[in-house]
Structure 1
Amino acid sequence: MARRLLPALALAIGCTASAAVLAQAPGRTLTINVGNVRVAKGNIHVDICPQEKFLKDDCPWSGDAPARLGTTQVIVRDVPPGLYAAQAFHDENSNTKVDRALFGIPKEGVGFSNDARISFGPPSWKNAVFGYHVPQATITFKLRYFLGPSGPPAAK
């Protein structure tokens, strides 16, 4: 009896250890190309959120990069496989928050995965969700600005 139990126990421990390693997801890289950055000032901040954290300030994975005119690439590491939504903002004044005007309208650029539409409020989870299942992946979306210039200056 004990001999049959040991292989089963070893298999269960091995599966649990494999699940723990996968949950930590070392070596996984999600690259986010954030377009329509209007000025090379401040930072682009991206959060990668499971459904229960979407549109909140405490998403478990995030990344920042200095803003570059046009497109800024942000790398987020060690995200485990799953379904997520990305939310980003252009922190032009580097105060680590989205500055807002009257009625809560963002003063800085904001954007969501799948270029999910922003109309009379933030997008829904179903419009922003994407699957992340491979060790290296890239997603692309654009920022939207509601005040001031709507994007980078047009090329002459």
Structure 2
Amino acid sequence: MRHLLLSCALLLAALPLGAANAATIEVRVTNVGAKGTLRVAVCDRERYLKTCPYSASVAPQAGQTTVTLKDIPPGTWAVLAYQDGNENRQLDRNFIGIPTENYGFSRDAVGRFGPPEFEEAAIEVRDGTTVAPIALH
């Protein structure tokens, strides 16, 4: 019995944490230019448009660029993307607050005056791979 418990404990210790609940989001961004950096963030409801817990930055490919984010817990998330043309790590805006760099949200959500609400951009992420298409505007 003691050997069986020890064997089970060693087997559990060898398993990667969260492997059973790890998901992947494949963000397919269209209307991409060839310059700067394409930045993608995945936000939950509480941190939406603030400090998103998951993000990635890649060199853009003109037309469409795919960004893959792994080890995302299943749940409800919103995905945001923007092309950082001058690579200053922020979405630049004009003097009245309108973005001057191309950006987009999952579900192609568009806010009426400002960014869309979380619910408008929210997608359901399950185990496996979830595709999130985003068109930059």
Q: Shorter-normalised TM-score: what interval?
A: 0.7 to 0.9
Q: How does 1:1-150 map to 2 (within 5 A)?
A: 21-22=17-18, 25=21, 28-37=23-32, 39-56=33-50, 58-144=51-137
Instruction: Tell me how many residue pairs correspond in the alignment.
Output: 125
TM-score (norm 2): 0.82
Q: Structure 1 residues 48 and 90 mapped into 2: Cα distance closer, same or farther (>3 Å)? A: same
Of Structure 1 and Structure 2, which has the larger fraction of its residues in strand? 2
In structure 2, the gaps of 5 or more residues are 1-11
SS of 2:78's equivalent in the other structure is strand
Aligned-pair CA distance for 1:33: 0.4
SS of 1:107's equivalent in the other structure is coil
Larger Rg: 1
Of Structure 1 and Structure 2, which has the larger fraction of its residues in helix? 1
The CA distance in 2 between the partners of 1:24 and 1:61, in whole Å, is 19
For residues 19-66 of structure 1, what are the alpha-carbon distances to aligned partners after superposition, in whole Å with 9 as ceiling and x for unaligned? x9338955x3211001111x200111111000001111x110011111
Identical residues among aligned pairs (%): 37
SS of 2:18's equivalent in the other structure is helix
The one-letter amino acid of 2:80's match is Q
The one-letter amino acid of 2:113's match is F
Aligned-pair CA distance for 1:68: 1.5
The CA distance in 2 between the partners of 1:124 and 1:137, in whole Å, is 21
Does the 8 Å CA contact 1:84/1:131 hold for their aligned counterparts? yes
Does the 8 Å CA contact 1:87/1:113 hold for their aligned counterparts? yes
Does the 8 Å CA contact 1:115/1:141 hold for their aligned counterparts? yes
TM-score (norm 1): 0.73
The CA distance in 1 between the partners of 2:20 and 2:129, in whole Å, is 15
